[in-house]
Structure 1
Amino acid sequence: MSPLKITTRDAATGPVLEIFGELDYDSVAELRELIPTLTLRPGQRLILNLGGLEFCDSSGLSALIAAHNHAQAAEADIALAAVPAHTLRILRIAGLDQIFPIAPTARPTLSGDDGGA
């Protein structure tokens, strides 16, 4: 088991969260507490880079939805980037691939083009 690690950086299009390890019931509070502290302006895009995510349960999915709702409330966009295959499968089963733009790389564009993922 890998502990959850989240790094935050600013990009020209908005904040980028890089999420590593396991996003589950035991660790999800860290992401849930971080989300409301993110400053988003209308038109920005919040990127959640999941390239280092090893595991995500329903609690983790709930935190991703909270991030989506936070972005929407700020009139900003959100995208998931570099989603591992095992997490992408879960997103598709839950239908969340229909609400999240999913980019195959860690650098999705602001225009909404998700790279065809």
Structure 2
Amino acid sequence: MSPLTITAQDAATGPVLEITGNLDYATAPELRKIVNGLTVAAGQLLVLDLAGLDFCDSSGISALLSARSLAIEQGAGTALAAVPANTARILRTVGLDRVFTIHPDVSAATARSAAAR
């Protein structure tokens, strides 16, 4: 099992969280804690970079949804970037590919957000 690592960075469009390792029952509370401590201004975009995600279970999906909810409460948007194939398949299966905005990478997510301003 790969330990979860979450690195926060600020982009011109809003915060970017790089999530690597396993996002599961044991580690999902860590993502929730970090997201709850973020300040996302109205009109910004919270990007969750999943390029390094090795595994994601239903608890991890729930934590991603919590991040989306927090952003919406603050008047911001959310985007997933570089979603691994196995996680993308889960998102499609449960219909969350229609809930999340998904981009091939962080650059595409932030460029799209910047262009929308």
What is the TM-score when the length of structure 2 is the normalising length?
0.93
Measured in 2, the distance between the counterparts of 1:20 and 1:69 equals 21
Segments of 5+ residues of structure 1 without an aligned counterpart are 113-117
Q: Is the 8 A contact 1:6 1:17 kept in 2?
A: yes
Q: Say whether 1:80 aligns with 2:57.
A: no
CA distance in 2 between partners of 1:35 and 1:106 (Å):
18
Cα RMSD after superposing both structures: 0.9
More moved, 79-88 vs 101-110: 101-110
Number of residue equivalences: 112
Moved over 6 A (4+): none
Q: Are residues 1:69 and 2:69 paired? A: yes
Match of 2:43 in 1: 43
More helix by proportion, 1 or 2? 2
8 A contact 1:51–1:106 mirrored in 2: no
What are the superposed Cα offsets for residues 33-73 of structure 1, whole Å, 9 maximum, x if unpaired? 11111101110000000000000000000000000000000
Extract unaligned runs of 5+ from structure 2. Answer: none
Q: Kindly, what percent of the aligned residue pairs are identical?
A: 55
